[in-house]
Amino acid sequence: MRRREFITLLGGAAMWPFAARAQQPTGMRRIGALMSFFSDSSEGQARLAAFTQALQKLGWNEGDNLRIEIRWAGDDLERSRKYSEELVGLNPDVILASTSLAVAPLQRITRSVPIVFANVIDPVGAGYVRSMARPGSNITGFTSFEYSIAAKWLELLRQMAPRVTRIAVLRDPAIAAGIGQFAAIQSAASSAVELSVIDPRDAGELKHAIDTFAREPNGGLIVTGSVSAAVHHELINTVALSHGLPAIHAFRYGVTSGGLASYGPNTSETYRRAATYVDRILKGAKPSELPVQAPNKYELVINLKTAKTLGLEVPPALLATADEVIE
């Protein structure tokens, strides 16, 4: 277990001691943030910074009219439960929940504190909201993508690494979205492709599973969207590259750490959009009346350096359509 760390983001959010809460100035609003990353995660920090900076532009300044209580739960469910209780106990005006791992325990604890999620794949299927248009409860927010996007990852892998005939899909079966993403990939796969799954969340088990899969030739990986994948993306890419396995990811951070390509939303933009809902709730809006919104755009990111390392030639047409090429 990692010890909870108290951090301060310049111009952003801070963890305030319990003694200070008793002296909260009149008019000060409080936001809770439950992040499914560890505090030393560059991706987690980038998302939180995007959120707090967007709040500043909307007139909410840390230490002036706003305090933000942050908890870094990583991919640990028990830690998420513990920190959910802590945050709800502080009676915040609204809570930012980064993923399903954060939303689920918060939902069990409170049906009154407003919750805005920023990176949930299937909120209706998970039971967080009644519908996208009418959430109907204290929870609303922004989705990552529809399940159909998962078929695009399969298409990308086949285009960029045509020799691949065996594909391992890294997923989290503990959440409905893990099963849904694999189902979308499975429905799009031809009989020429052999699909298998890698489910373990523990780093050691994850490495062992990839090592075992790589014992046979012509393999490739699809890393679906999950908290486990986010926490272990560097390990996944390190092990995959050591075996010459091309890996397609759901998010850009999987490519900047060595993955072959990604197709998904800009996560920082999602957190900036989440700040607009927090702003509206602080000004009196009800979560039940704020529709859940999907991404405005999906981005294709290609790591040309990784492609060269793997001996792959990226089709020119694909490079031409990429939003970002890492060289």
pTM for the model stands at 0.85
- Position 287 scores a pLDDT of 97
d(CA 311, CA 143): 35
- Position 177 scores a pLDDT of 85
- Position 26 scores a pLDDT of 53
- Position 110 scores a pLDDT of 97
* pLDDT tens per residue, range 100-118: 999 999 999 999 999 999 9
**Top-level CATH class of 18-143+267-289?**
alpha beta
Domain residue ranges of the chain, discontinuous segments joined by +: 18-143+267-289, 149-264+298-326
Nearest to 122 by CA among 96, 146, 104: 146
**Homologous superfamily assigned to 149-264+298-326:** Response regulator (3.40.50.2300)
Average pLDDT of every residue of the chain: 90
Return the minimum-mean-pLDDT range out of 31-40, 168-177, 231-240, 265-274.
Answer: 168-177
Do domains 18-143+267-289 and 149-264+298-326 share one topology? The answer is yes
Q: E strands within the chain?
A: 29-35, 66-72, 94-97, 115-120, 139-143, 166-170, 194-198, 219-223, 247-249, 261-264, 299-303, 324-326
Query: Which position has the higher pLDDT, 323 or 9?
Result: 323
Q: How many CB atoms lie within 10 A of CB 130?
A: 14
**Beta-strand relationship, 261-264 and 299-303:** antiparallel
Return the minimum-mean-pLDDT range out of 12-16, 163-167, 255-259, 319-323.
Answer: 12-16
Burial of 46 (C-beta count, 10 Å sphere; 0-12/13-18/19+) = middle
SS3 38: coil
* pLDDT tens per residue, range 183-240: 999 999 988 899 999 987 788 999 999 999 999 999 999 999 988 888 899 999 999 9
Return the minimum-mean-pLDDT range out of 176-180, 278-282, 294-298.
Answer: 176-180
**Beta-strand relationship, 166-170 and 194-198:** parallel
First-to-last C-alpha distance (Å) of the chain: 37
- Position 2 scores a pLDDT of 42
SS3 269: helix
d(CA 303, CA 262): 9
Instruction: Grade residue 3 by pLDDT with cuts at 50, 70 and 90.
Output: very low
Query: Which position has the higher pLDDT, 14 or 131?
Result: 131
Q: E strands within 36-156?
A: 66-72, 94-97, 115-120, 139-143
Nearest to 293 by CA among 159, 165, 117, 136: 117
- Position 191 scores a pLDDT of 85
- Position 176 scores a pLDDT of 79
